[in-house]
Amino acid sequence: MNLKDKTVVVTGGNRGIGKAIALAFAQQGAAVAICGTNETTLKETSAEVERVGAAKSLGHKVDVSKEDQVEAFTKSVLEAFGKVDILVNNAGITKDNLLLRMSEQDWEDVLNINLKSAFLMTKHFVKPMMKARRGRIINITSVSGVKGNAGQANYAASKAGLIGLTKTTAREFASRGITCNAIAPGFIQTDMTSALGEKALAEVTTQIPLGFLGETSDIANTVLFFASDEARYITGQVICVDGGMVI
Ligand code: NDP
């Protein structure tokens, strides 16, 4: 895979899966822009991205659910890098509860940060890709969006929505040489899953045919493949990287 001269944008690139994705591109020599809401981790991860070999690095504080902030971020990335080849919509949150107990606010927060964000980022970052007549958009959905999950009505709806957005984006921009695919992780070791606690995680592991939780690199490696020229004939697809949870 030759990703050396590519420019990449990763939302939520300051920690967890997004950080692993940003570092994986940096190790290939790509220019990497990350965004998130925490300025401290953004600074730390941007410095690490540069240390491991990125051609250039940029870390901006952006709430990806706000269009004015997404628009300003697009301008900054284009000023710094001159082009955008790859967009990874990874930022996401959970606010779990049973449907009957779920508040309207928790529904809206999760839909806005997990789904509306990908719409806004795609809308603004696809423009330079259209001009270049090539590009890669990769959305991080979830097995919850594929098969539903009790206690996650908001999260599963947002992730299922991302799958619809992925397929539509693939259809709308295929003629411009832009592909759009989604990755549905199962249980991956990050802050998001460690919040579940040891007992719940042990129970969850019994539902994974391969018998262990995935690592952030499992997702990052799949992103690199979708971003590469080797994946040029794949668009509108969802691949589960989940130890066999969805078979
Ligand atoms: P983490 O909780 O570790 O990280 C979430 C990331 O999203 C952080 O970088 C955070 O940045 C960013 N983020 C949250 N809200 C915003 C916002 N409003 N604007 C910009 N950035 C924001 O999660 P994971 O790394 O585990 O998950 C990454 C993605 O993978 C998510 O979309 C998640 O749904 C998905 N996923 C994860 C699974 C897992 O098992 N871990 C399983 C299936 C899917 P900051 O801290 O600066 O706010």
Q: Domains of the chain, with CATH numbers? A: 7-238 (3.40.50.720)
- Ligand 1 close to Cβ of residue 33 (< 6 A): no
pLDDT for res 28: 97
Tell which one of 139, 147, 190 to mutate to probe ligand 1, the residue whose CB is within 8 A of the most ligand atoms: 190
Active site residues: 155
Nearest-atom number in ligand 1 for the CA of 63 is 19
Tell which one of 94, 111, 165, 192 to mutate to probe ligand 1, the residue whose CB is within 8 A of the most ligand atoms: 192
pLDDT for res 1: 77
Strands 57-61 and 31-36, by their bridges, are parallel
Nearest-atom number in ligand 1 for the CA of 17 is 25
Contact 49, 22 (CB under 8 A): yes
Closest C-alpha residue for ligand 1 atom 27: 17
- Per DSSP, the residues of 14-80 read TSHHHHHHHHHHHHTT-EEEEEES-HHHHHHHHHHHHHTT-S-EEEEE--TT-HHHHHHHHHHHHHH
Cα(90) to centroid of ligand 1, in Å?
Answer: 6
Q: pTM for the whole thing?
A: 0.98
pLDDT, one tens digit per residue, over 169-223 is 999 999 999 999 999 999 999 999 988 888 999 999 999 999 999 999 999 999 9
Mean pLDDT by 10 residues, the chain (247 residues): 94 98 98 98 98 98 98 98 98 98 98 99 98 98 98 98 99 98 97 90 95 98 98 98 97
Rounded Cα gap, residues 227 and 71, in angstroms: 23
- Ligand 1 close to Cβ of residue 37 (< 6 A): yes
